[in-house]
Every structure is written in C-alpha cells, then in structure tokens.
A and B are shown apart, each in its own frame.
Chain A
Amino acid sequence: MRNYLFLLLLLPGVAMAQDHSADSAWFREHYVKHEYYIPMRDGIRLFTSVYMPVDSAGANHPILMTRTPYSCAPYGLEAYSGRYYRGYLMQYAREGYIFVTQDVRGAWMSEGQFVDIRPYNPHKKGTETDEASDTYDAIDWLVKHVPGNNGRVGVFGISYPGFYSTMAALSGHPALKAVSPQAPVTDWFQGDDFHHNGAFFIMDGFSFYTSFGLPRPKPTTVRPRGIRFQSDDNYDLYLKTGSLAHFAALMGDSVAFWKDLYAHPNYDAFWRARNDRQFLTDVKPAMMEVGGLFDAEDCFGAQNVYKAIATQSRGTDNRLVLGPWYHGEWASGNGWFLGNARFGSNTAEYYEKNIEFKFFQHYLNNGTDTLARANVFFTGENTWHQLAAWPPAFSERRLYLAGSGGLSFDGASSGYDEYVSDPAKPVPYTEDVHFHRTREYMTDDQRFAARRPDVLVYETAPLTSDLTIAGPIVADLQTSISTTDADYIVKLIDVFPDDFQYPSSFVGNGTHYPMGGYQMLVRGEVMRGRFRKSFAEPVAFKPGEVTSVRYTMPDAAHTFKAGHRIMVQVQSTWFPLVDRNPQQFVDIYHAADSDFVKSTIRIYHSSSIILPVLQ
C-alpha cells in the first residue's frame, strides 16, 4: 500500500509502454463522463465520477465501482482517466460497463471527515454512517439515477480500495451482486502493511503517512506534498534516524493515524475494532478475493478475508485467486516474472481474461461462471491449479533445524546454534542499496543474508523428488535469548541447483542474474517475540530461559523441484522493512536510542518449521 502512487499508475495499466491511442479514441467516442455529488444519509456528499456508454438505450449496462482514498482523478468532465482504456479494463468497456469511481468520505473532493480504516459499525442507527453505509447509499443512488444501468453492481479495488471493497460487501444493498477485494487491507496489526505479528513495518508506515496522512482541511484535487528525503539509502536513513520517537518528531503532530500507531503498541480494543474479518458473517454478494503470493504489502488480507468468509459465512459464494504477484501486479498486464523469479507464462493476463472478467460477467452481465473455488498459481512448478478448497488437503511435515546447518525430516536433536543480534548492524532485508522499498524482496536471492554471521542457515540435501506446499507455514522455534525481547524472522527458501537456468521461453526482467545456486525467498515472516503468547498482552523473555516462539506465516503455493534444496534462515532483524527491536522489554514506540542492546540468540535444534505438504 505504501506504493500506492505507483499502484495508481500501474493499476489501469498506465505504466505499460504501449500505444493506446486507438483505444483512447474509441473510449472517448463511446463513453461520456459525468461527475456527481452523491448525498449520504447524514447529508455528506461524496464526489463520484461516472463513465457511461454514450449509447445507454436499453437498461443493460452493469455498474463496476471502486471506492478509493487515492482520488478518482483526473477531475473535470473533459479529462478522461486512462485506467479504463489503457489496460485490461478495456474488455469491460467493450461490454458496455458503467465505471464508477468515488472519493471516499473525507478524501480529495468528497465532503466529510476521513478516518483511516474506519471501523465497521454493525449496530448503526438512524443517520450513523460507516464505509458500508456510504457504499449502500452510493449504490442506491447510482441504480436510481444512472441511465441504462441493469440494476446490478460490482465493486472491486486493490489495497486500500480493497478494504473499501470488503466494506462494500457488508453494505447489504440488494443490487450489489459481486465484490472482489484485492489485496484488501484487513488487519494492520496482524498482517498487511504496517505490522506483521505486531512488528512495525517502519519503512512502509513512515513513507506512507508522511504524505497520505497529512490532513485535508477542505475538498481538493491536489495531492499532498510529503517529506522529501535527501537520501538514496533507506537503510542508512532509517538507522541514522534511530528509535521510533525520532520518527514521530519528523512526522510532526498533525498525522492522526501516526499517533494512533504509537498509542496502541499492542493488540488492544482499538485494533480489534479494525479487524475486518470478525464482521464477515453474513456476506450477501458473490465474493472473489485476489492476492499476490509475493505481495509485500497485503499478502495477509486476501488470504484471510477468504478464510474468514469460508468459515464464518458458509453460504456465501466465495472464491480465492492467488498468483505469483507483487501488490497489484495481477492488474498490470504483465505477470511473467517478479525480480529474478520467472513463471513461464503471463499470469496477469491469464487472470485478467480468464478469471476476473468471467467473474463479473457472470454476476453482472449474464456470463457463465465456471470458476473453481480456488484458482492458485504454484511457483516452482509454474502452473495454475483449480482447487475445490483453499488450502487443499495437506499433511503437516516438520523440518527440524538440525546441527551443522542441516534441515531434517528425521526428528529433533539436541544442541543449539547462536548468533549475536546487534541493533546497530541490523540484517538488511535486501541486498542492494536503494531508497524505495522494493517489491522484489519477496522473491529475492537470500545469499547476501546467508553470508552474514548473524543469520542462521539450515538446508536439506538436494531433493530426490518434487515437494509441493500449499497453505500456511508454521515456524515453531525453541529459543533462549540473553535479554528480555527479540524479533524472529524465519525465511523459507528454495535453493536452486548450481547449474540452474530458466528455459529461454521464460520471459524475465531483462537482466542476467546468476541463477545457479539462487536462494529464492518463498516465504518470510517476522514475529515480535514479546507477543509469542498473546498479541494483547506482551510477555518479557527471561534471559537464558528456553521458551517457545511459534507463529504462522502467510500461505504459500510452491513446488520445490527435485534437485533443489529447501533452506531455512533465521535472523532477528530485517531492516528497514521492520523497525528494530530494542531487545529489551520496553515500549518500543517510546524507547530511547540507548535502550537498544545486543542480544545473543540461541535457536535450539528442537526447533522446526511445519510445511503444508500437498498429498
């Protein structure tokens, strides 16, 4: 979500360097733009842009809506947004869809007060509002006022607009037939952009709120100006800035949500009210959650909205799509590769043509839906699978972190490995010096990390046959530390053979990277140690005492091919992706620089990683 500006560019396929002049001309000829202020039940009016077919005779046009805090720009009746003709949305245009984009309450040109991830209110009365009621009111107005509509509405959105899509699904408006939350922001403490398991994603959080978080005193079409960083090097900047208190000073006191983050270090009532999953109990429209297996921002949301509906709202027509994608890549037109990892086909195009379009056509425009419940692309094997459930039936297989760097299915052994975690020299999350958090770190080569003395490395012998995992991965560590808190980062890695090369038919990113011996990150996740027993009630470590740190990482869908090795790396920093743990049990949001100390971390050989191995 941090990359939201980037995403806005990408989303409609704007970034594609193609000549769209023919499509542009076609779109201008066949579509007319309107702008409306749609009144909500409390009198607040939301700015809405509507592109409708010129030929609106016959009430046969479905409505496809996105509600966004990122602006429905460009504004003005003559300024057309490229998102509709530059990318895959053109196929909807050819079918005569009515496109609606709305600035959410308090954002850009809409009236009212913006609230970040405004909590859903299941007990609204009278003119009380939330994002669900705003969606209801918007849909109600649209089906009554937009000429030619067929009375069926779909909602979709990526990232923050994915959150608004989930909220739309809770609106209960009868005209809303199909919703696709894509990488939806869902729980900003457990997963998604700003925390994973309670550890703060400082870089994404800070760079997002330094621009997005600024107050909007009145409706505007102008983007806020964020802090200009005089730096090419986020590692340096974030390390030099120091403890979180310094970031608050840089941010100033006008960013409401930044202050909320500091006021709620633990999973308290504030956060619980913002856990969307709990409300997904009686979901009416057909749902299709879409997410990237390598989404650096909202890998959590898509998977967990799907699971919440699947378990709490069993009657809902609910589907899941997982592809090998960065945040929003499925809508970019190009899903051949991510970083150095290649997938052998254009997975984005496949999604756009064969999944999303069919979904909306079926529910909004009398198409036929033959989609399986789960459509998942398995990397390594590089094929799409149509599955009846997600995760599919699997068996839990433990791989033990053994002595001498071994990784073994054969059971626990005694002994331990140790390293010193130094908050003054944190392990970088990626190899190269750069400023903007990369999308590619999710599949990056981990050799740079394996070569550090503060990263433990465990690996199997080359596999004799393929091994496919599908579902959640559990890190089950037995550990002791010399201080009172520490973070744990466990990374599951596919080690390519020394002579590995992709087939020439696999489109890549144009660089020649040494793929022999590549250590591909398949899944990595952090756990803030203090939350090992409860996210609501952190517990200090007792120095030297062995304790269990067990946590679940996001789902993976990957085949470790025969001849590859499985590797696990363990480290205690991942910087500046994740803020540094002072390694003492203090309030991290108010810690002083002097609170940060070295800790000796022991990982016992009774530790394991539990893989969901496909039968």
Chain B
Amino acid sequence: MRICLALLCLIFSSSAFAQDLGWVRAHYVKREAYVRMRDGVRLFTQIYYPVDSGAHHPMLLMRSSYSAAPYGAALNEALGGSFWHRFIRAGYILVFQDVRGAFMSEGIFEDIRPYTAGASVDEASDAYDTIDWLVHNVAGNNGRVGALGVSYPGFYAAMTALSGHPALKAVSPQAPVTNWFMGDDLHHNGAFCLMDAFSFYSMMGYPRPSLTTSFHKAFDFRSDDSYDLFLRTGALPHFATMLGDSVAFWDSLYAHPNYDAWWAARDDRRYLAGAHPALLVAGGLFDAEDLWGTLHVHEAAGGDFVLGPWYHGQWSSPRPAFGLGHIRFGSNTAAYYQDSIEFPFFQHYLNDGVDTPARVNVFFTGENEWHKLAAWPPVSTPMPMYLQSFGGLGVSPDSGYASYVSDPARPVPYTENVGFDRTREYMDDDQRFAARRPDVLVYETEPLASDFRVGGPVQVDLSVSISTTDADFVVKLVDVYPDDFRDTAVRYPMGGYQMLVRGDIMRGRYRRSFSAPLAFTPGLGTSVPFTLNDVAHVFKKGHRIMVQVQSSWFPLFDRNPQRFVDIYHAADSDFVRSEIRIYGDSRIVLPFIPDLP
C-alpha cells in the first residue's frame, strides 16, 4: 500500500504499454459519468466500452482510492499493454471508479470504512449502487459484472463482493487490505509498521478540500536514509508532530494502540464468509504489504486461490517476473498467472469461458514450481524445531538459553543497504548482515540430507525472559544456501546466501491477548506464541534451515520502548535497553509436507 504510486505506475504507467493503444483507440470509447448513490452522493466513474455494442460484453469494475486518472479524453495507456489488454481484446467493458470522497468523487472519504451489513451507506452499498447503474445504463453489457483490485483496491474488491448485487458474478481481491492491526500494511501482530505508515499517510492522509484530479504533494523528507531519519525523529509523538493534526486516520492509529472494538469493526474477515460471487484471491509470498490479507481473506471466504513468489502487485505487472531481489524463480510467474489463472477465471464466470483453473495454484520457491492443489493450506505434518541454546536448530529442546541486549538506540536494520524507500526485496534478502550482529541470535540445522518441503502457516512458540517489562520478538525463517551455490545470472555472492523465507514480528505485550496487553515481569520466564504468515518453500538437499531471533526490525517497525508504556505517547526517555533471553525449549513448528501431488 505504501508503494501505491509505484503500483499505479505499474498498472497505469505510460509508454511501456502504449504499443497497442492505437487498437484501443479504434475499438473503444471512453465515457465519464457521475453515478448517484442511494444517499445522493455521486461517484466519478469512467467507462471504456467497445464501439461494437452487441449485448454481449461483460463488465469489470475496479473501485479505487488511488484515482481513476487519466481524467478527460485521454486514454489510460495501461489498456494498451498490461494485463488489462487481455480483457480489452476480449471485448470487456472496463469501469474505473473513484471511491467515495476520493479524487473526483463526492462525499467523505473514510479509510477502510467499516462494513455495516446494509445498516447504512458503506463501500458495499456504493458498489451495489454502482453495479446497478452500470448494468442499466451501459449499452451492450451482458448483465454480468466482475470486480478486482490490488492492495487498497483489493479491500474495495472484497467490499464489492459483499454488495450482494445479483449481477456481480466474480470478484478477485488481490493483496486485499483486510486487518490493519493483525497484519497488512500498518501493523503486524500489533507492532506498528512505522515507515510504511508514515510515508503513506504523509501523502495519502491529508484531507481533500474539494474534488481534485491531483495527488497530494509527497512529504519532503530530505533524506537518503530511512534508518537515520526515523531513528533521529525518535518516539512516535514526534511523528505525529511532523504530520500535523489534519490526518484523521493517523490520529485514530494513536487513539487505538490495542485491538479494541474500533479495530474489530475493521476486520473484514468477519463478513466475508457470506460473499456470494465466485472469488479468486491472489497474492504474493513475498508481498511486504498485504500478504496477511491475501491469506486471511481466502481463509475466511474460500474460493479460488493463488500464491506466487511475488512482491506487492507483481502478478499484475506487465514486466516479466522471473525473480525478486537476488532470488530467481525460473519462469515468468506473472505471465503464467495472467494467462492461465486470472483471465480464464473471469472468462468462465463472465463470458462463458470453459477453461476453469484449479481451485488452488501455489508456487513453491526453492523448488520453483507451480502446484495445483485441492485446498490451502495442504495437509502437513507439524515439525517442531527447537532453538537450542548453542545455536543448533533441532528436534530436541535443551535447558540452556542464549541472550542478547536489545538497544532501542541501535535497532537491527531490516535490510543491509542504506536507502530511503522501503524495499520490496527485503522479503527474500540475504540475512547475513543480521546474523553478524551481536543482538541477533542464529540457529541452524546441519545441511539437509534431502529436500524439505513446507507449506502453510508457521507456528512460533518462544520461551523467553527479559530484564524489562516489554519487548518485541522478530523471528525469521531462513534458507541457507550451500557455499558452492552459484547463479551466474545474479551479480551477488549467492554461496552461503541466507534467504529470508518468512519473517514476522510479535509485540510481546500482546502475547496473551491483542486487546488486553500484558506487561512482562523482569526475569520471569514466559511463553510468546505467534503465527508467521504461510510459506510455500522447499529447502533443498544440502541447504540448511536457519532461524534468527532479534528484538527490532527498523525502521520497518517502530521501536518498542521495552517498557510497558503506551508506545504512541511514549517519550524518548522511555526507551531502554533490555536483556533478552531465549530458552532452549523455544520452538518453531514447520508445516512439513512429505509428499505433494
């Protein structure tokens, strides 16, 4: 979500897609309309429809908070080349709408506006009203509507699925924003995604005084170095000061540090089981932003499901997707998705296509192959691996511990290189830079004697004690390549590479409950259980499995003062060092799959 602009560039960008724009211009007409909602508010809507208007054209709707630009007569150049072009060539009517309160639409914008099940106007009712208008007012439509969207538009796609309009047959929420406290862009397990949140809201959060076709000016950070900037700025109150008091959602974040009723009302999972249209949930195993939503919308709503080795939105990129960062996946996985999964899905439900995809398509990294499965997650054998106090990762616990001092003044960087923008690649980056720090614990197996496949969520159960009253726990599951591993296509030393397969953070105070945080008693042993997002990976024979544990991941996540204070209102002086002990009965439970069809 943070890289919404980058994503817009991907989906709507200019010259890369212009090759077939002439064809679009010859065969399509662009129309702009204000569609009236039930409460009288009018939403700005663009319709691209074929010149040939036999009544056989399906419609695809994308509702977005990121602008339907370009406005006016100019054609959206993405229609000439990106994944949209498949739909254009098949005669789809494409509809882009600014959501309520955004850009050229009337009304008041509200971030992740809660679903009200028909009690009042919400994004689902806006979708209903829009669809109803479309099927009655757009010439040549076949009465069948699909919806899709990536990231924030993925949230709107999920809300569209809840509209209940009978013409809506198929919806694809992709990397949908789903629960901004548990996962997705703004928090993971209650820990605040400081960098993404600040850079997003410093641009997208300011009020829109009147209808506009322009984005708010981006915040001028005057920095090449996010670690430095975010560390120097200090405690969270300083960020609120920088932002000013006009960003409503920022104020909400500070007012709701715990998982209270306000957050619970914004948990889309609660409603999605009742979605009627066919669903295709798609997302990336290495999506830094909304992997959580991808997994949990599928878990809640079922339907078709795709997990690929992708960064946020990479599956819909017109660029070949052969890899991410230093890791290569051996084939153009985005093209496979667009050609063999997404397009056939909509064709089947909207356009009498017969080529239905398998229910579940998952790409396993390491092995680098797609698998068609009956369900996700597949049946697996829980394989507990203990964090042995002398650095081993094995099947038996021990009674010792390893320790480190977590210093909020020297947090562990989330990535090796100095840079300003949060990278997409940190999700599979080499973790050697971290393994070399004294405040990161490293556990690893011997080289594996045979391939080791994992698929599904990863349970973590740490046995810890700390010298203060709160701490964060970052657990990283890492694939250690053999020393002689070579990939001549990559200009990076791949021998001994420590590939991040999955990492996540747990804010310790929430170890018992996200709604009722609990202080640690200094020196007292306690368990910290949490779940890492699903993995789909094969640790190859000769590789090692590694786990790293640390207590900061900066500036991806805000620093924990390591004292049990309200972090959103903590002072710089509240931040203290904590000695963290990880006992040898701590474990990570891998979803081992001995055999996969």
Q: Point out residues on A near B: beta carbons under 8 Å.
A: 230-233, 235-236, 420, 422, 425-426, 428, 431-435, 445, 447-448, 451-454, 498-499, 513-517
Contact = CB atoms under 8 A, between A and B. Distances in A.
Interface string B378-422: 000000000000000000000000000101001101001111100
Nearest to B225: A517
Q: Which of B224, B430, B484 has the most CB of A within 10 A?
A: B224
B493 interface: yes
Interface in B462-494: 483-484, 492-494
Interface in B481-514: 483-484, 492-496
Contacts of A233: 432, 483, 493, 495-496
B225 A453 contact: no
A235 B228 CA distance: 26
Given A425-B438, A428-B436, A448-B433, A232 B224 contact: no
A451 B227 contact: yes
A431 B227 CA distance: 15
Given A230-B495, A515-B224, A425 B432 contact: no
A347 B192 CA distance: 49
B222 A434 contact: no
B499 to A, nearest CB: 13
Contact of B483 (A230, A235, A420, A448): A230
B232 to A, nearest CB: 10
B229 to A, nearest CB: 8
Contacts of B436: 235, 425-426, 428
B495 A232 contact: yes
Interface hub of B223, B405, B418 (most chain A Cβ within 10 A): B418
Nearest to B407: A453
Interface in B428-456: 430, 432-433, 436-439
Nearest to A501: B224
A453 B495 contact: no
B483 A454 contact: no
Contact of B410 (A452, A498, A513, A514): A452
Nearest to B419: A514
Contacts of B493: 232-233, 433-435
What does DSSP make chain B's interface, helix, strand, loop or mixed? loop
Given A230-B495, A235-B436, A517 B407 contact: no
Contacts of B492: 433
Contacts of B416: 431-432, 448
Contacts of A435: 493
B405 A453 contact: yes
Contacts of B483: 230-233, 236
A445 B418 CA distance: 9
A448 B430 CA distance: 15
A230 B417 CA distance: 25
A276 B411 CA distance: 47
Closest 9 CB pairs of A and B: A232-B493, A514-B224, A516-B224, A232-B495, A425-B438, A453-B410, A233-B496, A517-B225, A230-B484
B345 to A, nearest CB: 40
Interface in B213-233: 222-225, 227-228
B437 A425 contact: yes
Interface string B132-146: 000000000000000
B467 to A, nearest CB: 15
B223 A517 contact: yes
A431 B430 CA distance: 12
Given A232-B483, A498-B222, A433 B438 contact: no
B496 A231 contact: yes
A431, A447, A453 — most chain B CB neighbours (10 Å): A453
Nearest to A428: B436
Nearest to A517: B225
Nearest to B435: A425
Contacts of A445: 418
A452 B438 contact: yes
A453 B439 CA distance: 8
Contacts of B496: 231-233, 236, 433
A165 to B, nearest CB: 36
Given A453-B437, A514-B419, 9 more contacts: A230-B483, A425-B436, A445-B418, A447-B418, A451-B411, A452-B437, A452-B438, A498-B228, A514-B224
Contacts of B223: 498, 516-517
Nearest to B410: A453
B481 to A, nearest CB: 9
A447 B495 contact: no
A38 to B, nearest CB: 45
Contacts of B410: 451-453
Nearest to B412: A451
A515 B416 CA distance: 16
Listed residue (A422, A426, A517) with the most chain B CB atoms within 10 angstroms of its CB: A517
B114 to A, nearest CB: 40
10 contacts: A230-B495, A231-B495, A233-B495, A447-B227, A448-B416, A448-B418, A453-B405, A453-B438, A513-B418, A514-B419
A447 B439 CA distance: 17
A514 B225 contact: yes
Contact of B438 (A428, A434, A451, A454): A454
Which of A235, A513, A514: most chain B Cβ within 10 A?
A: A514
A435 B486 CA distance: 14
A236 B492 CA distance: 15
Nearest to B438: A425
A226 B94 CA distance: 65
Contacts of A236: 432, 483, 496
A386 to B, nearest CB: 36
Contacts of B222: 498-499, 516
Nearest to B492: A433
Nearest to A519: B418
A452 B416 CA distance: 12
A592 B35 CA distance: 79
A534 B155 CA distance: 70
Interface in B513-530: none
A517 B228 contact: yes
Contacts of A452: 410, 437-438
B447 to A, nearest CB: 13
B408 to A, nearest CB: 11
